[in-house]
Structure 1
């Protein structure tokens, strides 16, 4: 059987989020030992234990809340029904002691979903793979998907089905480069309908196609639809139009968004005025 830390490693390799629950303090009686750990997954299943029984069941439910907030939290529990302690939650137990749990959300920080396994998608995967991105590629063409390299996870089927099944999580990055603008619209509209707070949403298209998409989107969702996290035409203006050059421009934009860069400059422009040589 895997150890808990091996389980964490394998879960991250699969691109899945998890919550690590650790007992960090105990006072008086109780079913838990300090240092005990438990992994909780989004579907409610768990690995390891922090004491079992009602306390562990409560911890599992609390851990599941972190899949929405994606923030660590520390909570103290009094294990005696009716007893009130400041800054602690009282559980319906009779042990009489107290325990403090630390809940740590462990997510795949750089998870990118490539909707479309064509030339640009493949070139982008080649660029992103060494940059510690977990890459999921979605396509409905089995032959194209089978030959796709550098994907951590391949999804064969309708594009929007991946969204409907919960494949895209808050904070994930999305690149839309399907073989049809109709599919592009379907994917983007489904993401807007789902209200998933993705970290980046980009679409490969021309300015004229973008204009058409924006008109349709505002007709559907209203003129005040917030598209501040939408990037299209996708990528930075570095010149070049080959799939490989487009991929580099998209990867550069993804990294800029990831690192919170709103203004892109040449590094030499950061030199002090006295040090500028041009």
Structure 2
């Protein structure tokens, strides 16, 4: 998606300046290496917004009007520019030549290919609300349901997949995927959650429901899945914040929970623990971060 958008941007703007944070020290809105592109009447990307970005955009457009191809800036992120990050950034501004454009498109393609997959198993109220959030996230989101009518209600810019056997979609998903189980049927929820857990390589497995539903699922796994451990399962999902049960609120909390797992470095959890001292790996969210990183 981003690659196609950038390609369209390049096609409609013959003169473009690439802005890159070539070096960052201290606190900064974005990391070193972050780039954006500026045309006389358009933008693609961001280096973090705020006064820094406004100032650099003005400089890029000034370069275009003066036919300047190269400019380097060193900017303190302090009161001098009305920003209080406290760091300093080196900014490289270059006329986007054909080779720069090609490299940028290749990077966008590589970034898209590497996006983690998020599978929403159920297109009910919460599933559709989650799709609305994930369409704006750096993930590839797949909304799956057996019911064509429910899928049709989603207007989110995500993949919508009609599937009569969603357990196969789970089995065929790439390693490091996130699975959020929220179908219209508890028995189907149990089947799909068990298949996701059995993979052993999921970044996140969550199932909508209560502590009682989790207990029943645990009992079901003991009876029908050879005692499959449910330690890695998140259920209830999004339970760390508000108790509001409106679909949009639940979806906001779950989306935050999943994105935290997909984008955060795992907490240090390898230090020896005493016999009575709980390990950080006892927390399912921490454990799933380690699974995603291949550490356990």
Q: TM-score, normalised by structure 2?
A: 0.49
Q: Distance in 2 between matches of 1:242 and 1:178?
A: 16
Residues 1:252 and 2:256 are matched in the alignment = yes
In the TM superposition, 1:75-94 aligns within 5 A as none
Give the structure 2 partner of residue 160 of structure 1: 167
Secondary structure of the corresponding residue to residue 238 of structure 1: coil
Give the structure 2 partner of residue 187 of structure 1: 192
Q: 2:219 aligns with which of 209, 215, 220?
A: 215
Residues 1:172 and 2:171 are matched in the alignment = no
Q: Distance in 1 between matches of 2:115 and 2:232?
A: 17
Q: Distance in 1 between matches of 2:203 and 2:116?
A: 9
Q: Distance in 2 between matches of 1:201 and 1:226?
A: 13
Q: 1:126 aligns with which of 101, 124, 132?
A: 132
Give the structure 1 partner of residue 83 of structure 2: none
Q: Distance in 1 between matches of 2:176 and 2:115?
A: 8
Question: How far apart are 1:210 and its partner, in Å?
Answer: 1.2
Q: Deviations over 1:251-274 (max 9, x none)?
A: 11112212146699xxxxxxxxxx
- Greater displacement, 183-192 / 198-207: 183-192
Number of aligned residue pairs:
161
- Measured at CA, do residues 106 and 134 of structure 1 come closer, stay the same or move farther in structure 2, by a change above 3 Å? closer
Give the structure 1 partner of residue 123 of structure 2: 117
Question: How far apart are 1:172 and its partner, in Å?
Answer: 0.6
Q: Distance in 1 between matches of 2:238 and 2:138?
A: 19
Q: Distance in 2 between matches of 1:111 and 1:184?
A: 19
Secondary structure of the corresponding residue to residue 136 of structure 2: helix
Contact 1:169/1:196 (<8 A) preserved:
no
- Measured at CA, do residues 145 and 197 of structure 1 come closer, stay the same or move farther in structure 2, by a change above 3 Å? same
Structure 2 unaligned regions, length at least 5: 5-109, 268-279, 284-296
Q: Distance in 2 between matches of 1:178 and 1:151?
A: 20
Question: How far apart are 1:9 and its partner, in Å?
Answer: 4.7
Question: How far apart are 1:188 and its partner, in Å?
Answer: 1.5
In the TM superposition, 1:207-246 aligns within 5 A as 207-223=211-227, 225-239=228-242, 240-246=244-250
Question: How far apart are 1:160 and its partner, in Å?
Answer: 1.8
Contact 1:236/1:252 (<8 A) preserved:
no
Give the structure 2 partner of residue 144 of structure 1: 150
Question: How far apart are 1:128 and its partner, in Å?
Answer: 1.8
Secondary structure of the corresponding residue to residue 138 of structure 1: strand
Question: How far apart are 1:196 and its partner, in Å?
Answer: 4.8
Structure 1 unaligned regions, length at least 5: 1-5, 11-103, 265-278
Q: TM-score, normalised by structure 1?
A: 0.52
Q: Distance in 1 between matches of 2:236 and 2:230?
A: 13
Q: Deviations over 1:105-128 (max 9, x none)?
A: 984333100000011011111122
Contact 2:115/2:138 (<8 A) preserved:
no
What is the Cα-based RMSD across aligned positions, in Å?
A: 2.8
- Measured at CA, do residues 253 and 139 of structure 1 come closer, stay the same or move farther in structure 2, by a change above 3 Å? same
